[in-house]
Amino acid sequence: MQNKTTASPGLKLFDLLEILARESRSLTLAEAVAVSGWPKPSVHRLLMQLEAGGLLAREPDGRRYALAPRMLRLAEAALTGSTQQGVRHAVLRQLVAEIGESCNLTTLSGVEVVYLDRIESAFPLQMHLRPGTRVPVHCSASGKLILAHMSPSQRTSLLNGLPLESYTATTLTNVDALNDEFLRIRKVGYAVDAQEFVDGLVCAAVPVFSPDGRNVRCAVALQAPVARMTLAQAIEKVPRLQVAAKALSRTLI
């Protein structure tokens, strides 16, 4: 029997779904009360809400509740997403093993770059950036790469709303200079961070295209202290990054 939960109403709905899924059978109201340990009125209300939302459906007898097709589709999508995330993590891990430096997968979130996944190098000197970390778009290799593949109007609108703060002596804060950089990125197929965000840190990034090849969905990049890898050496790793990017593209839906 479950202990009474102090979760919010939304989480209680999820808790009840979890209970029904764990039981692996349809349940009557009385059985749901017994396995949850919650008051009958609360369980009845939750069952009604889940049924109305299409997540539960009643059996033909009208008494038993079972997981509905919508809930099963959600479970399948979650399982698929988890598998794809695992594949992406494995691709990054292999990339780090071959390159020897930290690598990450990023995308644009609002006006910042957000880390979706990252594998650190084995070296003691490293910059810890966990998934969920956000960095400026105009002075990161991934950010400049994504900006370079935007339409001019979309890119101008985004840049006009940013302060374009200077983080180091090499940060590009002039729109004309950035536009020149975007042209270069489109021409060579990769972007770099020449110590533009953090002194002593270089980065190279390549695009991860959507499966149809039309849009840049995210970026895969390597990041290293300049004491271990020069910018020129980072650029030499671009072909290996591009191989990883093609593998990552196949995991995108």
Note whether 46 and 134 are same-domain residues.
no
Note whether 110 and 162 are same-domain residues.
yes
Domain of residue 15 covers 9-67
> Looking at residue 175, which CATH number applies to its domain?
3.30.450.40
Note whether 197 and 116 are same-domain residues.
yes
Number of domains composing the chain: 2
Note whether 55 and 89 are same-domain residues.
no
Note whether 35 and 140 are same-domain residues.
no
Note whether 88 and 160 are same-domain residues.
yes
> Looking at residue 53, which CATH number applies to its domain?
1.10.10.10
Its pTM stands at: 0.68
Share of the chain above pLDDT 90, in %: 63
Note whether 43 and 95 are same-domain residues.
no
The pLDDT tens digits for 6-54 are 556 778 898 999 888 888 788 999 999 999 999 999 999 999 999 999 9
The pLDDT tens digits for 158-175 are 999 899 999 999 999 999
Residue where a domain terminates, one of 67, 94, 109: 67
- Assign 3-class secondary structure to the chain: CCCCCCCCHHHHHHHHHHHHHHHCCCECHHHHHHHHCCCHHHHHHHHHHHHHCCCEEECCCCCCEEECHHHHHHHHHHHHHHHHHHHHHHHHHHHHHHHCCEEEEEEEECCEEEEEEEECCCCCCCCCCCCCCEEECCCCHHHHHHHHCCCHHHHHHHHHCCCCCCCCCCCCCCHHHHHHHHHHHHHHCCEEEECCCCCCEEEEEEEEECCCCCCEEEEEEEEEECCCCCHHHHHHCHHHHHHHHHHHHCCCC
44 within a domain of the structure (yes/no): yes
